[in-house]
Structure 1
Amino acid sequence: MSGTPTADDRLQVLEAITDAALGHLGQEKVMATILARVREVLDVDTATVLRHDPAAQLLRAVAASGIEEEVYQDVRIAVGAGFAGRVAAERRPVILDRVDETTVVNTLLRERGLRVLLGVPMIAGDELVGVLHVGSMTPRDFPESDVELLTLVAARLALEVQIDVSLTDRAAAAALQRSLLPGRLPTIRGMQFSARYVPGTEPGVGGDWYDLFPLPGDRLGIVMGDVAGHGLNAAVIMGRLRSALRAYALESDDPAEVLSKLDRKVQYFEPGALATVAYGIVTASRDSVALSLAGHLNPVLAVPGEPSVLVGAAVDPPIGVSGPRRRKTVVGLSPGSVLAFYTDGLVERRASPIDAGLQRLTEVVTVEPPGVVCARVMAALVGTTPAQDDIAILVARRDAD
C-alpha cells in the first residue's frame, strides 16, 4: 500500500473514527480500533497515544498499536523533551526523519528500529489532551495529506480521552468523597446529630466534607470544611485534610492550634491548595464548644427561648493562606441548644446576596431534634431546585436536662 492515503483510504479512517458502534465499546477498544485503522491506511508500523498530565507536565502512553510495550512499561515523557515532548510543547505537527538519542528520549522507539516519525498534538478546545504519533521502520515522506488525516484522528481521540478522564475523575471523586464522609454518625453521650450532603450538579463533585469524632477525655470534635475547586483533585485534597486534622486533633485541645498545624502542613506539602474549615471541640460536660474558623462561615446557634443567631466567632484566613495567629472562641451550649455547621453551597445563590441566604438559614434553625432541623433547612434553602454547588450541613443538639 502506498504511504499516501487515497480518497477511499481517508473515507475508511473517517468511518472508523465516527462509527457510532464504537460508543458501545470501552475506551481501550475504541483506541485500539482507530489506531489499527490508522496504521493500515498510512502504511506505518506503530501508532501511539500519549495522554497529557498538566499537573506533572508529563505525557503518558495510554494506547499503542504495533508497539504495545509503550503502554505495558508505562512510558512517560516530559513535555518539551524528545520527539513527543516537542510536539506537546509546540502544539503543532512534527516530522522526524532522524531517530536517535539526540532526537528521541523514548528508547523503545529507537530499539524498534523506527526511521521516521510523525506526531500531532491532541487538542480539545484550547486544552492539550495529549500527543498522537506514528512511526515507520522504512524511510519515507509524510505528505501534507498524511498530516491532515492524522490531525483529524487526533481530534477524535482527544475527545475520547477527555470524556473518559472526565467520567473517570467524577466517578472516582464521588466514590472517594462517599468513603470519607461518615456513613453513620457516632453515638455520643449527651448529644444528638443529623447531617446532609448533596453534590453539586454543575461543576461536579467538590471538596466539601464534615466529620464528627470522639476525643480523649470524653470530648467531641466537629468539623465542617470546603476545599476550593471541584473534581478528583479537590476530593483528594479533602481526604488529606480530613486525615491530617484528625491526627492533629489528638495532639491539642485548642482548635486554633489544630488549624494552625493543618495550615502549615498544607502550605508546605500542598502549596496552592485552599480550603475553609470550621473546627469545634465540645467539652466533656457538653456545656460549651471551643471553635476556630479558617475562612469558614459562622455556624448558627439556636438556644431555647431566644432567636437563632450566627455565632459571633472570629474568622481567620482560610487554610493555605498566611495570616496572624489563629484564634478560638468559646460558645456556651445550654441544655437543648442546637449548633448548625454548613458549607457555602447551602446559602449562596447567583440571583441573591449571601446575606439573604444566611438570614433565611437562621430563621429555620430551631431547637428541635437535629433530623427535623436538617429537613426544614433543606426544604427552605434547597427545595425543588438542584444544588449548583456542593451542600453539606451538620446539626448538633445538646440533650435537654
Structure 2
Amino acid sequence: MTASELDADERLRRMEAVVDVSLSEMGADQLLAELLDRVRRILRVDVAVVLHLDPHARQLMETAVSGRPDGSAGHRDPAWSGLAARIVRDRLPVAVAGVDSAASDLRSLAAVPLLANADVVGVLQVGSCRPRRFSAEDVQLLQLAADRATQASQAGQAHLDRAAALALQRSLLPPQLPEVSGVDMAARYLPGHDIGVGGDWYDVFLLPSGWLGVVIGDVAGHGLRAAVVMGRLRSALRAYALECPDPAEVLTRLDRKIRHFEPEHLATALYAMLPPDRNRIHLSLAGHPPPARAAPDRPAELLDLPVDHPLGFGGGHPRRTTVLDFPDDTVLVCYTDGLVERRGEPIDEGLHRLRATIEPGPAETVCTTVMANLVDDRPTDDIALLAIRRRSTGAAA
C-alpha cells in the first residue's frame, strides 16, 4: 500500500469514528462526551470543549468537555474567550498555531461553529499544550464532529423542551373542574405523539357575578413556545372576563393583546358564559371548531354558529356573541381540532364521527365515550375535550 493510500485509509478511519452510527444510540450527554473523547484522540489534542450560545446571557457556556482533569464543564477559560467570540461573529473555522497566554497552558487552538439552520448555536474547540499547526483536514474533521454535536444537542434540547412544555401545559390546566350548581362537567387533555405538545387548553371559572366562564382554545404551533403563549392567553382571558360581561368583547380584547404582544402567533378559542340559572349559553367563536350539542330524544348536532377570525389574525369585523338555550339534561361538547382531524381525510368525516358518538348523559360518561371512539393510542396532535351537562332542575346530579 502506497503512502497516499495509507493517508486515505487513515482519513477514512478518522471520519468513520466521528459519524459512527452507534453514537446515535446514545443520549445527548453521553454522545457529546464520547464524541469529544474521539476528537481528542484523533486530533491528538489535550482538551476538547463544546460551548453553547446562551442568547439571553449573551455568553458562550461550556456544556461538555474532554481532557480537563476534573472533567467539569460549565465555566470558561479566558484563553478561549476571544477565539470563541470570533467564531460566533464570523461563522467560520479558526486555527491558531501559537497562543501566548499566562492564563492557560494551551499553545495551539482550533475552533469551528455549531450551526443549526444557518444560525450559530455554539462552538466546538480543541486545544493542545504544545505548539502545532492544524491542517485543513483537521479543521474539516472538526467541523464534521461539530455537525454531529449540533444534531445531538438539538435532539436533547427538543426532548427537554417537550418535557418542559408538557409540564407547563399540565400545570395550567385545572387540576379538577370546579363544583358548580346547575351543571356537571368533565374534561380530557391528551398530548400529541408525532407533532409534540402544543398550545391546546381549556379552563372553567366562576365569576363574582355567579356567571360561569368556559374556555377551550388552541395556539398554533407546537413545543415550549406555544405552551408559553397559551399560558399568557389563559391568564389574560381570565382578567378580561372579570371586566366584560360579553364573550365577544372578551375575545376582542384578547385578540388585541395577542396582536400586540405575540404578533407572530395565531390562536383559536371558544369562550362561553352561563348565567347563574344555567338555562342559556352566551358563546363566541374565534376561528374555533363549533361545539356539539345533544339533548334528550334528539340526535346530536354540530351547532351552526357564526365563526369570527382567529385571535391574532386582525381584521376590522366586530366579533359576535350567540345566545343558545340550554334545556335540562342537554350536554354541550367543546373540543380542539386534534379530536376530529386525521391525515388524508376531510375534517367533515371526523365531525360526523363526533356527532354520531355523542349522546346525552353525565359529562364524565360523554368524555369517556368520545375518547374511546375517536382517539387511538398515538394521536398525532394535542386533544382537549370539555363536556358540560345541564342538570335537571332540582336534581342533585
Q: TM-score normalised to the size of structure 2?
A: 0.81
Q: Could you tell me how far apart the structure 1 residues matched to 2:251 and 2:99 are?
A: 54
* Superposed displacement of residue 305, structure 1: 3.6
Measured after TM superposition, the shift of residue 155 of structure 1 is: 3.0
Other-structure match for 2:156? 164
Deviates more, 1:353-362 or 1:289-298: 353-362
- Whether 2:247 is the aligned partner of 1:255: answer yes
Question: Is the contact between residue 276 and residue 318 of structure 1 (CA under 8 Å) also seen in structure 2?
Answer: yes
Distance in 2 between residues matched to 1:35 and 1:16, nearest whole Å: 9
Structure 1 unaligned residues grouped into runs of 5+: 76-80, 101-108
Letter aligned with residue 93 of structure 2? P
Contact 1:291–1:313, Cα closer than 8 Å, also in 2: no
Q: In the TM superposition, what are the counterparts of 1:29-178 in structure 2 within 5 Å?
A: 30-32=31-33, 34-35=35-36, 38-39=39-40, 42=43, 44=45, 46-51=47-52, 61-64=62-65, 71-72=74-75, 84=84, 87=87, 92-95=92-95, 112=104, 117-123=109-115, 130-135=122-127, 140-178=132-170
Deviates more, 1:115-124 or 1:292-301: 115-124
Percent sequence identity is 48
Superimposed CA distance per residue, residues 254-291 of structure 1 (whole angstroms, 9 cap, x where no aligned partner)? 21222222222222222201111111111111011211
Alpha-carbon distance between aligned partners in 2 of 1:304 and 1:230, rounded to the nearest angstrom:
38
Deviating more after overlay: 123-132 vs 223-232: 123-132
* AA of the residue aligned to 1:167: H
1:292/1:56 Cα in 2 relative to 1: closer, same or farther (>3 Å)? Answer: farther
Q: Does 1:352 align with 2:345?
A: yes
Distance 1:222 1:94, change over 3 A: same
TM-score, normalization by structure 1: 0.80
**Structure 1 counterpart of 2:261, one-letter code:** F
Aligned in 2, Cα 1:319/1:117: closer, same or farther, shift over 3 Å? farther
Select the residue among 373, 379, 383 that pairs with 1:380.
Answer: 373
What is residue 322 of structure 2 aligned with on the other side?
A: 329
Equivalent residue for 1:106?
none
Number of the residue aligned with 1:302: 294
CA contact (8 A) 1:61 1:74 kept: no
Gap change, CA 1:35 and 1:380, over 3 Å in 2:
closer
| Residue in 2 that maps onto 1:227 | 219
Aligned to 2:205: 213
Q: Closer, same or farther in 2 for the Cα pair 1:115/1:394, shift >3 Å?
A: same
Separation of aligned partners in 2, 1:274 and 1:74: 44
User: CA deviation digits over 1:107-162, x for unaligned, max 9?
Assistant: xx996587754222335788865331234576542112311331232233223212
Q: 1:366 aligns with which of 359, 369, 379?
A: 359
Rounded to whole Å, the distance in 2 between the matches of 1:255 and 1:133 is: 57
How many pairs align? Answer: 383
Shift of residue 202 of structure 1? Answer: 0.9
Question: For residue 156 of structure 2, what is the amino acid of its counterpart?
Answer: D
Query: Which stretch of structure 1 is more off in the superposition, 203-212 or 363-372?
Result: 363-372
In structure 2, distance between residues paired with 1:381 and 1:34: 45
Pairwise CA RMSD of aligned residues?
Answer: 3.8
- Whole-Å separation in 1 of the counterparts to 2:243 and 2:311: 19
C-alpha change, 1:54 and 1:277, in structure 2 (3 Å) is: farther
| Residues 23 and 31, structure 2, Cα contact 8 Å, conserved in 1 | no
Report the Cα distance in structure 1 between the residues aligned to 2:30 and 2:351, rounded to whole angstroms. 51
Segments of 5+ residues of structure 2 without an aligned counterpart are 1-6
